A and B are shown apart, each in its own frame.
Chain A
Amino acid sequence: MELILIILLGLLYAAGVYLILRRSMVKLLLGIMLLGSGTNILIFLLGGIVKGKPPVIDEDAKLFQDIFADPIPQSLILTAIVISFALTAFAIVLLKRVYALVNSDDLDDLNTPEEEDI
């Protein structure tokens, strides 16, 4: 399980970085999304994967004796997913507006010379 996740993680990061280095705005967006997913899986993996153990311990137990699942990485991922959802939604709307104004998908075209306002 760990090995599969590690390979997936590497693929997501590599694909994300590759797409961000492209000029197209859509690919930039996809790259950001893939990197975000890669990060979530990284947190999940590094939190330690435990199968079939509840994240609770005995009421009387003073020490963690048995293996137990760590709930914190999952709550971190949940937060990160919500945040990246909001950011992605904003990014899609922004890029759509920019595409409508500039009429090009190329990031190198985003250099309109100075126009004066406020």
Chain B
Amino acid sequence: MIDNHILAPVFIHLFSAVIQLIAWRKTITQRIVSIAGSSLGVLLAIRLLSRVHTDGILTLNAANWEAPFGIVFVADLLSATLVLLTSIAGLAVSFFSSTGLNRQRMLYGYFPIFHFLLMGLNGAFLTGDIFNLYVWFEVIIISSFVLMTLGGRKTQLEGAVKYMAMNILASTFFLTGIGILYGITGSLNMADLSLKIQQVQNQSLVGITACFFILGFGIKSAVFPLYYWLPSSYHTPPSAVAATFGGLLTKVGIYAMIRVFSLIFIPDEFTRNLLMTIAVLTIVIGSFGAVIKTNIRRLFSYLIVCHIGFMVGGIAMFTKVALMGTVFYLFHDIMVKTNMFLIAGLIRQLRGTMDMTKLGGLYAHYPKISLLFALVLFSLVGIPPLSGFWPKIYLFKAAFTLQQFAFVGALILGSLVTLYVIAKLWAEVFWKDSPSDVIVEDKFEPLPLFRKILLVLPICILCSVTLFIGLNAETIVQLVDKISDQLLDSTMYIEAVLGKQN
């Protein structure tokens, strides 16, 4: 069904960014426009999801060029839900950065670039054309480069060099894959590719192309042998930026993997084994890295790597139950990881440091805020009935059915280490007495009430969404059930884009 409103969540961020560029150096106007734009974005995304839910997959042919010749935008349930979650995370970060960010950074265009980043994310979720996906990826990485370097501190720039080199390399691999794919099929439309790839004579060439895509998306989503850039760069930018990166950027890689492997390269035995090995090693390495770190944000960076493995493993199993687990985990992870980095930023505001050895006694001073943090941390660990618990059931079930015991072991190890790390974090930061020799510089206490609310509100928003996902799991399970049906049976997607096939 053709609907011209699919791109509304993309355009709203484009317009916000342009208005903010006009209001250059007027930071108050920019903050208001940012919050208003993001709120409107959430409403538009809710509308999109409800329309997709009632009317089925929506498409839009750019400039009315018929698919497969023109660029087509597709909103199925997976992409519409991810657009909604991105918009919610964006709204929370808009709120947080209006207070939690250095004014110097706002003067040099933090807000416009942030909205360009959200525009790129929404575009990447909604496009149905593989080259267009590449272009949206580039929009995302160029905005993220600027956000990462904004401020120009030494550590920030050093982290940015690694981030930039690895991401440009990933784009090159991705583009190489697209080039070969175009050479062997003559199409760029994902639905059309899904049909044409089966007619290719030389199927081993298809396998090699799939490897380029795994390499490109693997670097972006930070899987095992390609993850080094993530922990060495994500702790450097301001917390608002790190929250957007940690919550959303790696997840775009996972989304692209799900999309490409469910539509174009249906995983064969080799790809499954490759992805499964990668997943197990990612979980193990990520959890070992998290154990030894004392800086909160470095620790969270390794937890991102660890939990990416859960989702890659789900894609590797590629059964209905496994995909349900993966998609559910993806939803949970976007909300919780964004929130974790916002919490790290708030802890930094409260105590002036993020080093666990120098922190302590937060629970005694701020019991309410600490309890709010505890809810989020418990969701991350997956204490029933919070949101991290439900997807893991599906992942375990799928792994037992397919007898992937290595993955079961890795899942248990990953969950246990997450529990251990979070327990350590809780004990060190909240329960332990504050070390006596450290001078506490509390930037939060002297703030006026309005700004305090602006700092705590985004954490409340994200926390309530997490609680909704956890406590209302039945609705979410029905949603991911439909999503995994759409992913496994690609005829629905193909018919929506290309019309009825004979």
Contact = CB atoms under 8 A, between A and B. Distances in A.
Interface of A: 20, 25, 28, 32, 35-36, 39, 42-43, 45-48, 70, 72-73, 76, 79-80, 83, 86-87, 90-91, 94-95, 97-98, 101-102, 107, 110-112, 114-118
A78 to B, nearest CB: 12
A12 B177 CA distance: 16
Nearest to B186: A70
A106 B276 CA distance: 36
B161 A112 contact: no
A20 B131 CA distance: 25
Contacts of B186: 70
A98 B101 contact: no
A42 B158 contact: no
14 contacts: A32-B165, A42-B180, A46-B182, A47-B182, A47-B183, A79-B135, A87-B171, A90-B164, A91-B164, A98-B157, A101-B154, A114-B235, A114-B355, A115-B154
A118 B165 contact: no
A32 B172 contact: yes
Nearest to B176: A39
A115 B155 CA distance: 7
A56 to B, nearest CB: 14
B157 A114 contact: no
A110 to B, nearest CB: 4
Contact of B165 (A20, A42, A48): A20
Contacts of B350: none
Contacts of B169: 20, 32, 35
B43 to A, nearest CB: 31
A108 to B, nearest CB: 11
A43 B175 CA distance: 9
B229 to A, nearest CB: 12
B353 A32 contact: no
B44 interface: no
B172 A112 contact: no
Given A35-B169, A118-B102, A112 B182 contact: no
Interface stretch (B145-153, B367-375, B481-489): B145-153
B131 A76 contact: yes
Contacts, number: 101
Interface residues of B, number: 46
Given A42-B176, A72-B188, A87-B171, 16 more contacts: A25-B161, A32-B169, A43-B182, A45-B183, A76-B179, A79-B135, A87-B168, A90-B164, A97-B152, A98-B161, A102-B158, A110-B162, A114-B155, A116-B355, A117-B151, A118-B348
Contacts of A43: 175, 178-179, 182
A40 to B, nearest CB: 8
A24 to B, nearest CB: 12
Contacts of B287: none
B429 interface: no
A47 B178 CA distance: 11
B145 A94 contact: yes
